[in-house]
A = this chain, B = another copy of it.
Amino acid sequence: MDAVTFELKKTCEKTKARLGKLRTPHGEIETPVFMPVGTQATVKAIKPEELKEMGAYILLSNTYHLFLRPGHQLIKEAGGLHKFMNWDRAILTDSGGFQVFSLGDLRKITEEGVDFRSHIDGSKKFISPEIAIEIQNALGSDIMMAFDECPPYPADRGYVKDSLERTTRWAARCKEAHKTIEKQSIFGIVQGGMYRDLRYESACRITQLDFPGYALGGLSVGEPREIMYEVLDYSADFLPADKPRYLMGVGSPDYLFEGVERGIDMFDCVLPTRIARNGTAMTSKGKVVIKNAVHEKDFDPLDDECGCYTCRNYSRAYLRHLFKANEILSSMLLSHHNLYFLLSLMKKVREAIDKDRFIEFKKAFYDKYGEM
């Protein structure tokens, strides 16, 4: 039996929004869920205990980065990624595909896999579907992702078609290479660019391989948001209802709402921690740019509706001071707040779906949040 299973608990009557539960070897996760990102085996500026306190039950970590540094064999020797980074709840690892393809001129794709140069030291590296699985086996993540090719936007139809053929062959090779399905599960990735028929074809062929979960890849890669929403509109319908659906690399509040409304169960994004380090907070009344002079003598918390550690203990004036003084605590406190904000938002989204109030909740949030 697959290590990771999904239970669909409810589907909204008015939208495609769903409530579900993922069961993994490292605990259960209520969906829809936002997964904080710990690229290099740490969620930047945050301790694991904080993530637990704020209700995170699953993290994402990046295969590409860990492969290059410190190396998957080292993490295996350390007892796996969970132990290495002191996180005993669930972990999803991506396949490294997205990062490798983002290297542009530094990589060369063949049927066998991808030759590329490390962004750290320029050394030659190679990842194939089999190696992506070997790395993720060594890391010991609960959910592994198939090694796919993610076409850029825009990309012509011929390229996208060829690419999805290869992604399909690679998905089969990933499945073949993974021997311990009772310990770790692989999710397949649907590609097809912004072409409806190719999305359909990719979904058919990937789901024929029968993975315990599916991701929609190749979205949020630079296309206008209307196009992404349109692709989401039909793409979710091409996937089986009883398997979890994961929209990769998406984490702004509007994308989360629009994704949930279209039947997506899982999301991840570096956005909350990245903008935190740049001094921006997400609040119930919209974004707060903490360095702005208006906050100089503002002794109120970032968000008076927020119950997080940062909002309970610190004023905007203090946070502004820390940011301007280049203090590490600025990144720590703002990252904490932003992650808490998104995790709490998703909790409220689940409650709203449960009470058949998702559309109303979304509208109220949008009205108050303003521009995304």
Contact = CB atoms under 8 A, between A and B. Distances in A.
Contact of A297 (B65, B74, B79): B74
A29 to B, nearest CB: 23
Contacts of A332: 45, 47, 328, 332
Interface in A305-360: 313-315, 317-318, 320-322, 324-325, 327-329, 331-332
A40 B328 CA distance: 11
A283 interface: no
A54 to B, nearest CB: 14
A41 B79 CA distance: 39
A315 B42 contact: no
B297 A44 contact: no
B299 A78 contact: yes
Interface in A96-117: none
Given A74-B296, A77-B297, A332-B47, A69 B324 contact: yes
Contacts of A317: 70, 74, 78, 84
Query: How many identical chains are in the complex?
Result: 2
A84 B318 CA distance: 6
Given A74-B297, A77-B299, A324-B69, A45 B329 contact: yes
Interface of A: 40-42, 44-48, 65, 69-70, 74, 77-79, 84-86, 296-297, 299, 313-315, 317-318, 320-322, 324-325, 327-329, 331-332
Given A70-B324, A85-B318, A332-B332, 13 more contacts: A40-B321, A41-B318, A41-B321, A42-B327, A46-B329, A47-B329, A69-B324, A70-B320, A74-B296, A74-B297, A84-B318, A86-B313, A328-B328
30 contacts: A40-B321, A40-B322, A40-B325, A40-B327, A41-B318, A41-B321, A42-B327, A44-B328, A45-B329, A45-B332, A46-B329, A47-B329, A47-B332, A48-B313, A69-B321, A69-B325, A70-B317, A70-B324, A70-B325, A74-B297, A74-B317, A74-B321, A78-B299, A84-B318, A86-B313, A86-B314, A86-B318, A328-B328, A328-B332, A332-B332
